[in-house]
A and B are shown apart, each in its own frame.
Chain A
Amino acid sequence: MFSSINIFGLKRSIFLPGLFIFALIVASLLIPGLSPYSEDIRGAVHFEESNLSPSFSHYFGTDAAGRDIFTLTVRAALTSLGIGFGVVILAMFIGTPLGLIAGMKGKWIDEIIMRIVDGFLAFPPLVLPLIITSALGPSINNIVIGIAISWFPWYVRIARSQAIVLKNQDYVLASRSFGGSSTHIILKHILPNSLPPIIVQASIDAGYAILVAAGLSFIGLGAHPPQVEWGLMITQARAHFLDQWWTVTFPGLFIFMTVISFNLIGDGLRETLNLNNREE
């Protein structure tokens, strides 16, 4: 199953978007050392160079404060990807154990956990992150917490349905017949076997988290200067975008490509998993 996937066996549908994300990470790590405008990352302004259109000295042009949009856009990937990964890791860490316990134990424990989860799911998708980030105060960390808290129920559901299927597998029954405790069974059998669909979900969600975070930054609930983040770049340039198209186009394009990439990776992983299941 999942463990049989290796770098060389990756389907092309995973390989290309994976390469894009990887290249983005590398580029955003290297850009401070490579770009002649690395000062801009820390918030330097050069009003004398404001609103320049794309050229060989400024590939993506400059914004109203004269900052190099190429440097900022590439660097912002680090923040945005950090948010994406942060959200899914946190959501997985909260959701998976709850889901596994609910699925394994069943009965009233399941009832309680799933009712709580339903409570979270009752909110429209963007409302909860909005409430949480505005309550905790605008910052990147709070964005991650806010989105993760509103998304963990999905992981509870996946993990629960996995646990329900897996707990009747022969190897789980065997383990129980040897006296294996619930903890032992969850850790050794259920968890490793429920990870694939969770990871598929996580890879899709990572991209989507970036989109939501950009949205929250756009309305002022997320990143704030001098942090660089795509949504923030767009919101800062929104007065200018009609006359200086490059100010919003490039960060927007990067959000788009990243979200699409994560979606493709998720789809690719899912296909790979299905294929292997069929072989069995």
Chain B
Amino acid sequence: MLKIYSISCQRIAFIKCLFRTLFTAMFVILISCSKDHRNEREPNTFVFVTYDDVKDWDPGTAFSLEVLPLSNMYELLLWYDATGDDPVFIPGLATSYKQSPDGLQWTFQLRKKVKFHDGEDFNAEAVKFVVERNKSLGRGASYIWNVVRDVRIDNSHQVTFILNEPAPLDRIVSSQYGAWMYSPKITDIPEDSLRNGYDGGTGPYRLKKWIRNGEIRLEKFDEYWRGWTLQNAFSNVNIRVVSEASTRIQMIKNNQADYVTQIPIQLLSSLQDVKDVKVEILPGWVNHFYLLNTKKYPTNDINVRRAIAAAFDRESILRYVYKDVATRPVGFIPATVPLASSPDSLIEFDLNYAKHLLNKADLPDESPEIIFSYVATSEEYHLTSLMLLDNLRKIGINMRIQPGLWSAIWEKAKYIDTAPNIISMAWWPAYASPSDWLYGLYYTQNPPLFNLAHYSNPVMDSLIAEAWKNEAFHPKNAQNIYKEIQNILIEDCVAIPVADLQIWAVYNSKIHGIRGNPAYNTLLFYNLARSG
């Protein structure tokens, strides 16, 4: 018997240990909840707290959350300023540009005396190098350069882009992905170093240190060509990855963070009265929608997809989950994007109709199961999943919810075997055009990058291409084609639009210089300063 009890004692000790750990954890939480005493943060360090990390440091291929650090480390030939009523282009690494009357040749004067962080000079060679390298890599947003046939070096600081067909190249070079100018020295960098953090830009900040899934430290680039004249500008930026929303809230409340992203919208009201915390709604070109897998059973059946769309209670979600931050979508493209048009109508919430559609589908399963995948860091997706789960149950579809980190569910969604039937998606454009949404999401891709509906329709492909061609000189035509395309998307029920989002910036009220430019889903630290 002795032996037995000694074993039991071990177990009990273990349980005790567990309880102790739990209590310690609670204690730690309590401490962190209480007023923070550790305010000795460096005054000239800006702390930005986000929910997920950079996956790709290569400026030629990065195409996701990387926009935040990279848009501060790299620069564009032109910036697209969409803050006013009439969008304008602001000189970046190009001081001026002009296009030939036929729109096939675009000549850019490049800024002189600009150096990359690695000491190389920025010049015409570099521009040509970037465009050609991005095109040859063929990943990420490299498609923006498809229209460019050649980059001609006129002199050391002048290049001419020669296009296959007329296109708004000013918008392409101001794209928020795939258009960053970086040092040709990148070819000397081994793959490993690229993966472990790389910086070859001209921007105001350079990469100091990267702790994977922990934090990204940026420091100011002293030789930045614009100079450092702003008083109290930040010489260091700390981008921290914190996946728990409640922790991010605590950090902004306790002055451990200057700016936090992805705060559950339902909780914004509780932050409004907190001292030193400012909640501001800024214009954005981000929309939320759900892609329906067109290849995977049972959503390969169009009636099942339509039934799901009809069971989607968009109005409640908008009213109670997205609240004031979002507006009702008119189509698959945010309404304020230049040249955006809308389809004739969206599929409206109607459970009886959904049931009718499901009966039409004539599935072998009595109650089919569909898999719903969403980015777990978003409370909005989570609540939407509960709504859809309830409604689909009512029409006889079992829905299985698979929340996960974006990088994980994205990877799974690329392959039919592991793909979910429905996947949450937030999209912000590389460049300001409806075609960015359409090309990125619905153009035939094999293997898919963001076409996670696995949608493939030759008519759609050619229409997207045609609309793009028309944008520069026949915008009305383009707009009409975009309407036609969206009608097809409604007809084929490839996606369910949910919300056109604005940016809900939650930041320390002492921070100045935050302004929303919907064309870039980022924050430019160079313009920021702390008062007081």
Contact = CB atoms under 8 A, between A and B. Distances in A.
**Touching chains A and B, CB distance < 8 Å:** yes
Contact of B11 (A44, A201, A225, A241): A201
Given A64-B266, A197-B4, A43 B390 contact: yes
A201 B8 contact: yes
Contacts, number: 98
Interface stretch (A7-15, A25-33, A45-53, A80-88): A45-53
B383 A43 contact: no
A239 B12 contact: no
B500 interface: no
Contact of A50 (B1, B12, B266, B382): B266
A224 B266 contact: no
A184 to B, nearest CB: 24
Nearest to B16: A263
B383 A47 contact: yes
Interface string A245-271: 000000000000000000100000010
Given A47-B319, A51-B266, A242-B250, A197 B389 contact: no
Interface string A50-88: 110000000000001100000000000000000000000
B130 interface: no
A180 interface: no
Which of B246, B249, B321, B393 has most A Cβ within 10 Å? B246
Q: Which of A65, A164, A204 has the most CB of B within 10 A?
A: A65
Contacts of A162: 4
B91 interface: no
A125 B321 CA distance: 39
Nearest to B10: A154
B319 A239 contact: no
Contact of A45 (B376, B386, B401): B386
A201 B390 CA distance: 40
Contact of A236 (B321, B382, B387, B393): B382
Interface in B369-388: 376, 379, 382-383, 385-387
B38 interface: no
Given A154-B7, A154-B11, A226-B393, A65 B383 contact: yes
A92 interface: no
B376 A220 contact: yes
A211 B18 contact: yes
Contact of A241 (B7, B246, B382): B246
A167 interface: no
A161 interface: yes
Nearest to A138: B402
Contacts of A51: 266
Contacts of A50: 266, 320
B400 A224 contact: yes
Interface in B250-302: 250, 264, 266-267, 270
A105 interface: no
A236 B401 CA distance: 12
A240 interface: yes
Given A47-B383, A50-B320, A243 B267 contact: yes
A192 to B, nearest CB: 16
Which of B4, B244, B249, B266 gathers most chain A CB within 10 Å? B4
Interface in B1-41: 1, 3-5, 7-8, 11-12, 14-15, 18, 33
Nearest to B1: A165
Contact of A47 (B246, B270, B321): B321
B393 A270 contact: no
Interface residues of B, number: 41
Interface string A193-226: 0000100110011001001000000001000111
B203 interface: no
A206 to B, nearest CB: 12
A115 interface: no
B245 interface: yes
Contact of A242 (B12, B249, B376, B390): B249
B359 interface: no
A42 interface: yes
Contacts of B11: 154, 201, 204-205
A97 B55 CA distance: 50
A243 B263 CA distance: 13
A47 B320 contact: yes
Contacts of A239: 244-246, 264, 267, 379
Contact of A240 (B4, B264, B386): B264
B3 A161 contact: yes
B367 interface: no
Contacts of B264: 64, 239-240
Nearest to A159: B4
Nearest to B4: A197
Contacts of B155: none
A165 B2 CA distance: 10
A42 B403 contact: no
B196 interface: no
A139 to B, nearest CB: 9
A225 B7 contact: no
A64 B246 contact: no
A238 B4 contact: no
A239 B12 CA distance: 33
B352 interface: no
B131 to A, nearest CB: 43
Interface string B205-248: 00000000000000000000000000000000000000011100
5 contacts: A47-B387, A161-B4, A225-B385, A225-B401, A238-B246
Interface of A: 42-45, 47-48, 50-51, 64-65, 125, 154, 157-158, 161-162, 164-165, 197, 200-201, 204-205, 208, 211, 220, 224-226, 236, 238-243, 263, 270, 277
Given A208-B18, A220-B403, A263-B15, 11 more contacts: A42-B390, A43-B389, A48-B316, A48-B320, A125-B14, A158-B8, A208-B15, A211-B18, A224-B400, A241-B246, A270-B8
Interface of B: 1, 3-5, 7-8, 11-12, 14-15, 18, 33, 244-246, 249-250, 264, 266-267, 270, 316-317, 319-321, 376, 379, 382-383, 385-387, 389-390, 393, 400-404
In the complex, the 7 A-B pairs of residues with the closest C-beta atoms, listed nearest first: A47-B320, A161-B3, A239-B245, A65-B386, A197-B4, A243-B270, A239-B379
